[in-house]
Amino acid sequence: MSSTEKEGKMPKEKIGEVSEETANELEMTDEELALLVQSGNSERFGMLMSRYDAKLTRYGRRFLSNPDNIEDLVQDVFIKVYKNIKGFDATQKFSPWIYRIAHNTFVNGLKKSLKDSLHFFDLDTLVSHPIYEDPSNAEREQKQMKIMIEKGLDQVSPQYREIMILYYIEGLGYKEISDVLRIPTGTVGIRLKRGKEALKKVYEKLGLKYEPSE
């Protein structure tokens, strides 16, 4: 995932293809757009939806084991986002905020179909863990991990699945994931580590070659 994409902007090479006004709009960060929506410029909400539709759909598809109604759920997410946008603090990053709403919506969707994914209490959140600096931060390695996750993710426990999606596929940082899942940052690191271990076991079980970026 490129840095421009991470900041919620459109790549510059694509901006040249559109009008100047739209180009300005495309240059805006998610937070700036959210601020405009907060001040009543609801047209800009369309831009936010365009930016996040694919991301949230992708997130939801991997999160939910039966994503038949994913479009409805994503639509629900946008409705909630619009209704609650005045509760967003524009000095903070927009992506963890919208992913948090998406997470809650998907969990509710999941409650209807699955019970095993819901953990009321997690020992990992009990004590402090040193933040596990994943060596696969480099983009090439991230891509490699992404491909591996695509293959074995379905068989990884939901507890680790979501965190791996957010980190390796959606490109969120530890702090952002901590805000989405409302868990300590150290727990994010430890879960990612365990998720990778779980993925390794899945690979062994499937007889596939596990080549993580370690």
> Residue 200 CB, nearest distance to another protein (Å)?
26
C-beta of 25 vs 136, nearer to another protein: 25
In the complex, the smallest distance separating the C-beta of residue 67 from another protein, rounded to whole angstroms, is 13
**Shortest Cβ 52–another protein spacing (Å):** 11
Nearer to another protein, 77 or 153 (CB): 77
Nearer to another protein among residue 114 and residue 131 (C-beta)? 131
Q: How far apart are CA 41 and CA 50, in angstroms?
A: 16
Tokens, residue 212: 């993580």
Smaller CB distance to another protein: residue 75 or 142? 75
Residue 73 CB, shortest distance to another protein, in Å, is 12
- Min dist CB 75 to another protein, Å, is 6
Binding site for another protein (CB under 8 A): 38, 42-43, 45-46, 49-50, 53, 71, 75, 78-79, 82-87, 125-129, 178-179, 182-187
- What's the Cα-to-Cα distance from 148 to each of 58, 173, 210, rounded to whole Å? 16, 19, 8
Q: Which is nearer to another protein, 16 or 87 (CB)?
A: 87
CA quadruple 178, 105, 61, 117: dihedral, nearest 10:
70
Residue 135: partners with Cβ closer than 8 Å, 6 or more residues away: 141, 213, 214
Write the CB contacts of 53 (distance below 8 Å, at least 6 apart in sequence): 74, 78
Residue 83's H or E segment, with its range, is helix 70-84
Q: Are 94 and 8 in contact (CB under 8 A)?
A: yes
